[in-house]
Amino acid sequence: MDLDLTEEQRLIRETAARLASDRLAPLAETLDRGDGREPFLANLKLLAENGFMGLNVAEAHGGSAAGTVAFALSVREFGRACAATGVTVSVTNMVGEVIQAVGSEDQKARHLPKLCDGSYPAGAFCLTEAGAGSDPSSMTTRAVMDGNEWVLNGAKLYISSADYAGVFVVWAVTDPEAPRGKRITCFLVEAGAPGMTIGSAEKKMGQTGSATNEVTFQDCRIPADAVMGTVNDGFRIAVTELTGGRIGVASLSLGIAEAAMDLAKAYVAEREQFGRAIADMQGVQWMIADRETELEAARLLTLQAAWLKETGRPFAKEASMAKLYATEAAQRATYTALQLHGGAGYMKDYPLERFARDARITTIYEGTSEIQRLIIARETLKPFR
């Protein structure tokens, strides 16, 4: 089995690492305090100009067409430096992929180049509602045809990048009498659409530099051709795109965990207690060995899922396995790194407490760990049903 990266993938990873180190990492602490919006948007523009906002979008639509493996490698590097930026890149790429997969030729021509070149700072994925999280089929946002327009009414919750997104992929019920999985339609809504309101940014535990907002639709009128794909086929689209998004979350959490453990390894090599470096103590070594093994397994699971997707093979189970394992391993790694720093890890002088907060959400968004286990079990048991 050949696990070597191609020359293009290595170059993309190196470019992502350089930009992450030079531009993202110096801003991460400022973003965590809730400041630095303008430099943050400037960094998003820079990443777009370097091809990172359309990594799996065709060149004909302004994308890099670099593939899912390159996407996973890039988001991992951005996660090491700034999780808030990394999640924005991940979601924007997901929005670009869904437009490319099911959008009309006009929708692709109008919106993909703007996502890829940074004219749109980000894209937003509007699925979750207050009563429809793990079960999006129970959403209540409605879209009703009136003349040659659709009228949207409802609210979406916890929408990443809504405050500065240029385009929104929105799901709404279009046939309330149909079964729950066959009554939802996917729409493309441009920023500033009359009747769409972006709420105040949520006050979050971590990844505070990435805006997360409620998006409300009140008699929001959008043209008939705003439909993405086929009417009432939106639930299938959502499930498909979330599967790919889980590779991004796995990559992001892996980057956060690696950054935390790198700090911990450097710290224990220098910190002395009882007359010797604590890195020489067996208990500390075992903690590091366990986390290193888990993160290597997470890397392999994530790259396997990315490779399967890139080569057109089924990857739903593998993406859920990568997301589940990498995000859970990130919880253990960030807390182990904090523990190895002792009291210093609890201080804001070190970024360990930020890494722990940033990693925490990864087991929740884009499908909780519990939902991933259900998917893995379902896919595993299919041949035996």
Write out the catalytic residue numbers.
366
> CA–CA separation, 67 vs 9, rounded Å?
9
> CA–CA separation, 195 vs 295, rounded Å?
45
With vertex at residue 253, the alpha carbon angle to CA 248 and CA 254, rounded to the nearest 5 degrees, is 95
Nearest CA-CA partner of 58 in 21, 25, 105, 17: 105
Contact assessment for residue 352 and residue 341, using Cβ atoms and an 8 Å cutoff: yes
Concatenate the DSSP letters of all residues of 280-301 into one string: GSHHHHHHHHHHHHHHHHHHHH
Buried b (16+ CB within 10 A) or exposed e, 241-267: bbbbbbbbbbbbbbbbbbbbbebbbeb
- What phi, psi does 30 have (nearest 5°)? -60, -45
Task: Give the DSSP letter of residue 367.
Answer: S
> CA–CA separation, 56 vs 229, rounded Å?
19
Bridge partners of residue 188, in order along the sequence: 169
Sequence-distant (≥ 6) Cβ neighbours of residue 280 within 8 angstroms? none
